[in-house]
Structure 1
Amino acid sequence: MDRIARSVSHMLKLVDEFEKLEVGFRSLQEPFIDTISTHGKFVLTIFSAVAEMERNIIVERILAEQESARRRGAVIGRRKGLGQKAEAKAILAENYYRDEKNQLSISEIMKLVDINSKATLYKYLAHRGRRNCVICKTMFWDKDQDMHKSYCKKHINKRGKNNQN
């Protein structure tokens, strides 16, 4: 019962949807739960309430244990930063980004480093200390560097937004 619905209200909504389709609900593991009969609906509601209560108790226990661990100085959750593969990609992306000779576009850097989204590329560059980056058409530059200033003066206004041509 606790797998199909997380709360009594959700379970009852499902049963209502089944009834609209003229379909009854019968549990394979609890054969006495059968929504075709009034008794079965009652048992279903009770079991759903018990499953919801068990879930809430588990959540409360987990949160209490996490709070206790925090008070003891433990760090909860994933480590900050990038994993080894992501760190390697971030270094490579930054090297391509800083390469003044080639001035690669965003999509070219993404292809070379095997990154699937611009957001990931920006996250990697921010992780490497490139926090003041702006997109200018297909070019990518750091506002603090002079590298692409002449190109971007034509396309970017003073607030760092793309000019519409």
Structure 2
Amino acid sequence: SWDMEEMVEIIKGKVYKWTAAPSSKHQLVIGELIYVFKKFLKNKKCKLFPAPFDVRLPKKSLKNEDIFTVVQPDICVICDKSKLDEAGCVGAPDLIVEVLSPSNNKKDLKIKYKLYQEHGVKEYWILHPIAQTLIIYTLENGKYLASRLFGA
């Protein structure tokens, strides 16, 4: 059972507590991204899910008791509806977007980058609102390549 009294992410069995609520700038960026993605995905089979939304990344089997990684990406897009259940998503979303903030930089830039690559997330976007940059990583042959970098 994954019932927790506070917001956490579990990565390979290690619990990461959410240290604080996201900043207003962080939430404004997320809101704008959701608006753009919703327009783009209209009438397409892919669906957008903003946090809080559990993405369970199993090692081998798909049984809940065998899952040691549960993350809450800021935004994820899932095109395979068989990955969706009442608790969220089981398996790699097609796209994950993380918006950096001082409390999550290390986790999103290093730990989640490696995790999403290992589990086959096809595209991983890292948006840095303060530096006004967006890096888009695309999975090719099991490794991420920085396919695009946008800056202000």
Q: Same fold (TM over 0.5)?
A: no
More strand by share: 2
More helix by share: 1
Which structure would you say has the larger RCO, counting Cα contacts within 8 Å and 6 or more residues apart?
2
User: What is the TM-score when the length of structure 1 is the normalising length?
Assistant: 0.24
Q: Which has the larger radius of gyration?
A: 1
